[in-house]
Chain A
Amino acid sequence: MSPLERGARALARPGFVLEVDRSTPPVLFHAGEGFRLERLPVGSRVVYPGEPRAPLADPDAAVRHALEHPLGECEPLSALLRPGMRLTIAFDDVSLPLPPMRRPDNRQRVIEAVLDLAAGAGVDDVVLIAALGLHRRMTEAELRHAIGDRVYDAFAPDGRLTQHDAEDPENLVVVGHTDEGELVELNRRAAESDLLVYVNINLVAMDGGHKSTGCGLTTYASLRHHHNVHTLEQSRSLMDHPRSALHRSNWRMGRLLADAGIKVFQVETTLNTDTFPRPFSFLQTREWEWSARERASYLATKRALDLAPGGLVRPVFQRIEAPHAMTSVQAGEVEAVHAATLAEVFRQQAVAVEGQADVLTMGLPYICPYNVNSVMNPLLVMCLGLGYFFNLYRGRPLVREGGVVIMTHPTPWEFHPVHHPSYIDFFEQVLSQTTDPAEIEAKYEADFATDEWYRHLYRTSYAYHGVHPFYMWYWGAHALDHLAPGGVIIVGGDPRAVRRMGFKPASTLRDGLEMAEDIVGRDPAVTHLHCPPLLVADVT
């Protein structure tokens, strides 16, 4: 980074709330693999994210420093390594970061630093585990991108680079039950190691802490204790872990692991919000600050996207590599590390917002954690909008109870047959019967979770677990509970797909706002979430 850019980053402006008036230019809305400029009604508010903060000048040195100066009650990593020990290094899977970052990834830096120490200490028995929980396995290219060629070539040929398999009875152990009777199962290698180093990328406040091992190395039987409708309805919000039932459960499980003697050395990294590379820089610049070049870039890109056939557009988007860079790294005892990490995440992402709105609008981008190098199917649109974006708050949701959410996304009725086979069946066979999360959980979850074919695909192919579409639906349970019935409108979406999910299709934002007025009354207060880049709204 040039000194000029570094200087600019150092003066990064925080996020803020813009009140729309007649001189406000149209505002950018993401819409899947495309975007639109929309005029919001006068009086609407737009929540803008903070500008990207300055990254670390020497990330490798910072990593080495963090490993030697851990937080909490923990010895430096070099003191914990000795010959003859069993060391396991677990790392976050392909669902982070979003979009994928340029090489070298944070995980590559940290793992190489850890392995340098391990090589120096003469540790022979080292295994790497991709902590993917019930997500799909990673391909070779994705693994190489995350951990680097050097680590991949040293570990993969011998089978010492593994991917967590939650359905392999021989490689899972029961650790115990928490005080509330929640079963905790863990990957066998991780449980039986002398030291488990977890390498995380804390993209949003939901990630990290005890959730890393709690979700990434466990099984369906453990996950169901917090990945269920009731717990998610009580997670307000997912970004605010003291107030999230999901995180409380994960914390109980994490403390059980610690009490059971499983030593976890947590290394957490944070990224700034420099999300889009140069050709797409207009996506993270405030509209009234677009230079002539950015305006030309927007027009050219929009034209190209409108003219190009779908098959050509998707690879262009999926190959975007974000320039976001490491802004902090801390290591040591899980809870102490996570507190420091969260402080850094909120320093970058928190925006103060006063009051709730009647209508919340959001433009959904082309990527979410579950369609990296894949297709964004309608279920993922729902999960991204009502699950993640809705939950980007602390305090109170951005929209009032009984309000309306309007999202823009083309929502094509299209599924990736290799990555999301159980999603297709869920969309065709379950949602056609009912869209109520509690009913879906009661009638169908067990069938899908234990289906042999989905289990086979999860274990041997690159498919998400059979129960995963249910989690996508439950992720939006808090939103569905909070908003008005029929209060979800998707602008520009495929009407059949939108209706199948129980939402309302609209062709333009104006039509969507009119439909919203039928529910919340005339002249509603509108707030637009100008995201990505990521932000968390502190709503008072």
Chain B
Amino acid sequence: MRALRFERSLPRYAAARVAGSLAPGAGARVGPLELVDVDPPALPGPGWQRVRPRLAGICGSDLATVDGRSSRYFEPVVSFPFVPGHEVVGALEDGSRVVLEAVLACAARGVDPPCRGCAAGDTDRCERLAFGHLEPGLQTGYCTATGGGWSEGLVAHASQLHLVPDALSDEAAVMVEPTACAVHAALAAPAAGGVTAVLGCGTLGLCAVAGLRRLATPGTLVAVAKHPDQRRLAAELGADVVVAPAEAQRAIRRATGSLQVGAHLTGGAEVVLDCLGSSASLAESLRLVRPGGVVVLVGMPASVTVDLTSLWQRQVRIQGSYAYGREARPDGGEARTFAMALDLVAEADLGRLVSAFYPLASYREAIDHAANAGRRGAVKVAFDLRGERGR
């Protein structure tokens, strides 16, 4: 079968890094990512099933990997060679459609008794990512044993699979995984009034806006988006105020009635969701959050340099938000994030955020489009594998 495979090759990785720093997405042309013919992955054990991907999305973390920008932190929890792709809607052998919780936790790894995180249901906090009978890999899409979404076949454990209702289209289904990340972030730090700001309106930011509006109490929801199409979608999905990045601090100043001292506001937003994860966005988040507020870091960062003096003096918390697990529901009780995401995708019609499809063979164009999505008026770019003939 055909798959996009990421090899362990230091020189090509270095080339990808250089190319990626010159033009986003250019790492796909010179880097370790290649379209190859391979045998489908073997089933690692009982409870595992074959999944044939129908649509597989390209995520910001995939782009960072392809361009050589991801942190060295991931080296021990990734096994080479791997097939990227963790945003998957696929078909089981019996034809039913499923979406994938990509995290490879204790259940998938056959670790018994499960670690503390998995025992409580917080699979995002699994402490056994490199253990068990599976190769190291924090998610499907970073593990050599499981395969990944950017191929014609992968294997998944029953604990990872969720059935997709018939009424939900493939486009909507492929948005479930990123929506789950966004829901997890939206519920990470409840705002209860005041102002909530979402910095960056790519896929994660827009899904976060939808999640905040429907599942939380964000108060006045301010979305900061660089591109006009993003701004339009943010307003449609429920943001109260949509601004360009240069206007963000002024809009938050007026929405919160703060004063200004130097470059900082005296007040600010209760919660700021940083869906970009760069030094600049983190610095901006610290400028927008009020004393005692929370910055939720949703976008995957790498090594960033930030002046933390304002964090110290204003007693601000920075909290990371990774993947998904379980959530406290707004009406009490608990639910899996994925289940809430399935509902949210249908309710907010998040399938419309899928902007373009590409076959595997056009992976360079696909990655280029995804890397420049904002500027080109797109949000989510996905591989369309429904036309591929399995072998």
26 sample A-B contacts, Cβ–Cβ < 8 Å, listed by A number: A424-B250, A425-B250, A425-B251, A425-B253, A425-B254, A428-B243, A428-B247, A428-B250, A428-B251, A429-B241, A429-B243, A429-B247, A429-B250, A429-B251, A429-B254, A447-B254, A451-B254, A451-B257, A452-B257, A452-B259, A453-B253, A453-B257, A453-B258, A453-B259, A453-B260, A456-B259
Q: Cα distance A429–B250 when bound, in Å?
A: 9
CB distance from B99 to the nearest CB of A (A): 38
CB distance from A417 to the nearest CB of B (A): 10
Interface residues of A in 417-463 (CB under 8 A from B): 424-425, 428-429, 447, 451-453, 456
CB distance from A463 to the nearest CB of B (A): 12
Give chain A residues whose Cβ lies under 8 Å from the Cβ of B259: 452-453, 456
Give chain A residues whose Cβ lies under 8 Å from the Cβ of B253: 425, 453
Give chain B residues whose Cβ lies under 8 Å from the Cβ of A447: 254
Q: Cα distance A451–B250 when bound, in Å?
A: 13
Give chain A residues whose Cβ lies under 8 Å from the Cβ of B251: 425, 428-429
Q: Cα distance A456–B259 when bound, in Å?
A: 9
Give chain B residues whose Cβ lies under 8 Å from the Cβ of A429: 241, 243, 247, 250-251, 254
CB distance from B290 to the nearest CB of A (A): 15
Q: Given contact pairs A428-B250, A456-B259, enumerate 5 new A-B contacts (beta carbons under 8 Å).
A: A428-B243, A429-B241, A429-B250, A452-B259, A453-B258
Give chain B residues whose Cβ lies under 8 Å from the Cβ of A453: 253, 257-260
B338-375: CB near A (< 8 Å → 1, else 0) gives 00000000000000000000000000000000000000
Give chain B residues whose Cβ lies under 8 Å from the Cβ of A451: 254, 257
Q: Cα distance A453–B261 when bound, in Å?
A: 10
B209-252: CB near A (< 8 Å → 1, else 0) gives 00000000000000000000000000000000101000100110
B254-291: CB near A (< 8 Å → 1, else 0) gives 10011110000000000000000000000000000000
Q: Cα distance A326–B241 when bound, in Å?
A: 52
Give chain B residues whose Cβ lies under 8 Å from the Cβ of A456: 259
Give chain A residues whose Cβ lies under 8 Å from the Cβ of B258: 453
Q: Cα distance A429–B243 when bound, in Å?
A: 8
A contact residues vs B (CB 8 Å cutoff): 424-425, 428-429, 447, 451-453, 456
Give chain A residues whose Cβ lies under 8 Å from the Cβ of B247: 428-429
Residue of B whose beta carbon sits closest to that of A452: B259
B contact residues vs A (CB 8 Å cutoff): 241, 243, 247, 250-251, 253-254, 257-260
Residue of B whose beta carbon sits closest to that of A433: B241
CB distance from A424 to the nearest CB of B (A): 6
Q: Cα distance A452–B254 when bound, in Å?
A: 10
Give chain A residues whose Cβ lies under 8 Å from the Cβ of B260: 453
CB distance from A323 to the nearest CB of B (A): 41
Q: Cα distance A536–B259 when bound, in Å?
A: 43
Nearest 9 pairs of A and B residues by beta carbon: A453-B259, A428-B247, A425-B250, A425-B254, A429-B251, A452-B259, A453-B260, A456-B259, A424-B250
Residue of B whose beta carbon sits closest to that of A444: B254
CB distance from A358 to the nearest CB of B (A): 36
Q: Cα distance A428–B251 when bound, in Å?
A: 8
Residue of B whose beta carbon sits closest to that of A428: B247
Residue of A whose beta carbon sits closest to that of B250: A425
CB distance from B227 to the nearest CB of A (A): 15
Give chain A residues whose Cβ lies under 8 Å from the Cβ of B257: 451-453
Give chain B residues whose Cβ lies under 8 Å from the Cβ of A428: 243, 247, 250-251
Give chain B residues whose Cβ lies under 8 Å from the Cβ of A424: 250
CB distance from B251 to the nearest CB of A (A): 6
Q: Cα distance A438–B259 when bound, in Å?
A: 28
Give chain A residues whose Cβ lies under 8 Å from the Cβ of B254: 425, 429, 447, 451
Q: Cα distance A452–B253 when bound, in Å?
A: 11
Q: Which of B241, B254, B260 is most buried by chain A, counting CB atoms within 10 A of its CB?
A: B254
Residue of A whose beta carbon sits closest to that of B246: A428
CB distance from B235 to the nearest CB of A (A): 11
CB distance from A457 to the nearest CB of B (A): 9
Q: Cα distance A424–B260 when bound, in Å?
A: 15
Q: Cα distance A451–B255 when bound, in Å?
A: 11
CB distance from B304 to the nearest CB of A (A): 28
Q: Cα distance A473–B349 when bound, in Å?
A: 40
Residue of B whose beta carbon sits closest to that of A430: B254
Give chain A residues whose Cβ lies under 8 Å from the Cβ of B243: 428-429
CB distance from B250 to the nearest CB of A (A): 5
Residue of B whose beta carbon sits closest to that of A456: B259
Residue of A whose beta carbon sits closest to that of B241: A429
Q: Cα distance A424–B246 when bound, in Å?
A: 11
Q: Cα distance A291–B144 when bound, in Å?
A: 86
Give chain B residues whose Cβ lies under 8 Å from the Cβ of A425: 250-251, 253-254
Q: Cα distance A333–B378 when bound, in Å?
A: 70
Q: Cα distance A265–B122 when bound, in Å?
A: 81
CB distance from A432 to the nearest CB of B (A): 9
Residue of A whose beta carbon sits closest to that of B266: A453
CB distance from B225 to the nearest CB of A (A): 13
CB distance from A34 to the nearest CB of B (A): 26
Q: Cα distance A452–B256 when bound, in Å?
A: 11
Residue of B whose beta carbon sits closest to that of A453: B259
CB distance from B236 to the nearest CB of A (A): 16
Q: Cα distance A425–B251 when bound, in Å?
A: 7
Q: Cα distance A451–B254 when bound, in Å?
A: 8
Q: Cα distance A197–B253 when bound, in Å?
A: 41
Give chain A residues whose Cβ lies under 8 Å from the Cβ of B250: 424-425, 428-429
Q: Cα distance A447–B254 when bound, in Å?
A: 9
CB distance from B221 to the nearest CB of A (A): 15
Residue of A whose beta carbon sits closest to that of B258: A453
Residue of B whose beta carbon sits closest to that of A424: B250
CB distance from B155 to the nearest CB of A (A): 51
Q: Cα distance A340–B79 when bound, in Å?
A: 93
Q: Cα distance A512–B258 when bound, in Å?
A: 43
Q: Cα distance A429–B241 when bound, in Å?
A: 9
Give chain A residues whose Cβ lies under 8 Å from the Cβ of B241: 429
CB distance from A232 to the nearest CB of B (A): 25
Q: Cα distance A453–B257 when bound, in Å?
A: 8
Residue of A whose beta carbon sits closest to that of B253: A453
Q: Cα distance A25–B78 when bound, in Å?
A: 78
Q: Cα distance A350–B247 when bound, in Å?
A: 45
CB distance from B49 to the nearest CB of A (A): 51
CB distance from A421 to the nearest CB of B (A): 9
CB distance from B118 to the nearest CB of A (A): 47
Q: Cα distance A447–B255 when bound, in Å?
A: 10
Q: Cα distance A85–B374 when bound, in Å?
A: 71
Give chain B residues whose Cβ lies under 8 Å from the Cβ of A452: 257, 259
Q: Cα distance A447–B257 when bound, in Å?
A: 9
Q: Cα distance A429–B254 when bound, in Å?
A: 9
CB distance from B253 to the nearest CB of A (A): 7
Residue of A whose beta carbon sits closest to that of B255: A429
CB distance from B159 to the nearest CB of A (A): 48
Q: Cα distance A425–B258 when bound, in Å?
A: 14
Q: Cα distance A452–B258 when bound, in Å?
A: 8
Q: Cα distance A429–B259 when bound, in Å?
A: 17
Residue of A whose beta carbon sits closest to that of B247: A428
Q: Cα distance A474–B253 when bound, in Å?
A: 25
Q: Cα distance A424–B249 when bound, in Å?
A: 12
Q: Cα distance A451–B251 when bound, in Å?
A: 13
Q: Cα distance A453–B260 when bound, in Å?
A: 7
Q: Cα distance A452–B259 when bound, in Å?
A: 7
Residue of A whose beta carbon sits closest to that of B244: A428
Q: Cα distance A451–B259 when bound, in Å?
A: 9
CB distance from B167 to the nearest CB of A (A): 36
CB distance from B299 to the nearest CB of A (A): 25
CB distance from B279 to the nearest CB of A (A): 25
Residue of A whose beta carbon sits closest to that of B242: A432
Q: Cα distance A428–B243 when bound, in Å?
A: 8
Q: Cα distance A456–B253 when bound, in Å?
A: 14
Q: Cα distance A175–B155 when bound, in Å?
A: 84
CB distance from B137 to the nearest CB of A (A): 46
Q: Cα distance A522–B260 when bound, in Å?
A: 53
CB distance from B287 to the nearest CB of A (A): 15
CB distance from A497 to the nearest CB of B (A): 14
Q: Cα distance A456–B254 when bound, in Å?
A: 14
Q: Cα distance A425–B253 when bound, in Å?
A: 10
